[in-house]
Amino acid sequence: MSFAYSSFWRLVSASKGERANRIKIAFMYAITRMRRALNAWCWRVSFRRRGKPYAKQFFDLKHGGSKKALRAAIKWRDAQLGTLDALTLLEFHRQRRSNNVSGVPGVHFHKTRRQPSGFWQASIRFHDGKRMAKTFSVLKFGRRRAFNLAVNARSELLAQLEDRPYLSHAVAKRLIREKCLGAKGNVERMET
Model confidence pLDDT, tens digit, residues 158-183 = 998 887 777 777 777 777 777 777 65
**d(C-alpha 132, C-alpha 124), whole Å:** 6
Residue-number span of the structural domain to which 19 is assigned: 2-86
56, 69 contact by CB (below 8 A): no
Same domain, yes or no, for 76 and 10?
yes
Together in a domain, 78 and 109? no
pLDDT at res. 163: 77
143 belongs to a structural domain = yes
Say whether both 130 and 154 belong to one domain.
yes
User: Residue 174 domain-assigned?
Assistant: no
pLDDT grade for 123, boundaries at 50, 70 and 90: very high
Instruction: Please give the C-alpha separations between residue 83 and each of 32, 80, 97, 109, 132, in angstroms, as whole numbers.
Output: 21, 5, 27, 40, 34
What is the rounded average pLDDT of the residues 4-24? 47
- How far apart CA 164 and CA 7 sit, in angstroms, is 39
Q: pLDDT: is 4 or 151 the higher one?
A: 151
How many whole angstroms separate alpha carbon 69 and alpha carbon 21? 20
Quick: pLDDT tens for 46-71.
Answer: 988 888 899 999 999 999 999 999 99
Domain end, chosen from 86, 116, 137, is at 86
Any bridge partners for residue 41, and if so which? 35
Is 79 in the same domain as 94?
no
Lowest mean pLDDT among 23-27, 88-92, 99-103: 23-27
